[in-house]
Amino acid sequence: MELGDYSEDGLDQLLVRAEAEIGRWRSVQMAVVAEKRRRSSHLMDGFRSIVDWTAARADVSHETARAVCWTASRLVDAPEVTVGLASGDVSFDRAQLLARLPDEVRPTHQGHDIGQLKRLVAHHKRLTRQRERRSGNGFLNFGHSDELATSFWGELPGLDARIVEKAVDQRADEVIPSGERLAVAERRALALVAICQDSLDTDTGSESSPVDLAVTVDARTATSTGGETGVSVLAGPRMGPRALEEILCDSKIELIGITENGKPLDMGRRSRTIPSKLRTFVLDRDGGCAVEGDNSRYRLEVHHIQPWSQGGTTSADNLITLCWYHHHVSVHREGLQIERIGTSRVRLKRPR
């Protein structure tokens, strides 16, 4: 089929006609399933259920087979939906949702799109006390691996999930400058890290206290590769050179080096830690995040302009105040470079 000759309106109509055709054939499948179930012949074929038979014969997933079989059984008392499906006026997705609605509510679906129809189905779905108990308190799992990133997943009861969602979105508005165009999912990920950092810090003001975490650097491999190998969170995932540089920038995370002979060497925080009085002076001098156009005072941190790992000194001239977002995300993760535009103001630029 050559689609290049179709107009925009023609493409729209073709999409609609194709979905109508799918619906018509789904209605045929539902009729076959109903007849097969009536005869119980799927059991004679050696299948445990009509779903197994449908999945095998139609070469579809069990999810698809289950949807066809379940919808066929539920629409026995809703012939108008079955007729609409067979005529192409009702899509199969809509038919599945209509099958879940009470008989007296089903006629009100006109004018609802699929999203609205899903909400209508959820509104009328019974939620018993027993089912509430089965949902429990939710769960959260972390998929630890040796890779750079760690995946995690979970589930929360409805109210708890809404509380978490609202808190994360609110923190994202506080942490991320309004001019930064980030996807919602990325904003929420950064906000969640900020919330957890607050929880780990004993003081959530502008000066943070150490976090009980450690990173190991194997000098036997890290030195020759510029930190691209041999760096990892203690008993956790790997890290790259950019993350290592972030830790070396007066991080709150303990850094432990492993020497050539395999013995640990505590690299500590003493040589690169900013003394309290000097930190206070820099914070007072800059009066907030020093990035031009940003007046954020959330989680202010003092940053080495020339990295300590590259010979930068821990002196007032080499220190600048940055908010959490510009420090950890813009500078250390995105690699933006700092350019002074005054005594206490800086501009972030992409490296050439």
pLDDT in tens, 92-119: 999 999 988 888 888 877 778 999 999 8
Among candidate residues 80, 75, 131, the one with its CA nearest the CA of residue 100: 75
pTM: 0.54
**The residue type at 336:** L
pLDDT of residue 280: 81
Mean per-residue pLDDT pooled into runs of 10, the chain (352 residues): 84 93 94 92 87 94 94 88 91 92 81 88 79 75 72 85 92 85 90 86 49 68 75 69 69 63 50 73 85 82 83 84 88 87 84 78
pLDDT of residue 256: 67
Listed as own residue / partner, the contacts of 11-18 with beta carbons closer than 8 Å and 24 or more positions apart are 17/88
Residues 6+ apart with CB under 8 A from 210: 252, 253, 254, 269
Q: How far is it, in rounded angstroms, from Cα 219 to Cα 222?
A: 5
Return left, alpha or beta for 102; rule: phi > 0 is left, psi -120 to 50 is alpha, else beta.
Answer: beta
pLDDT of residue 204: 43
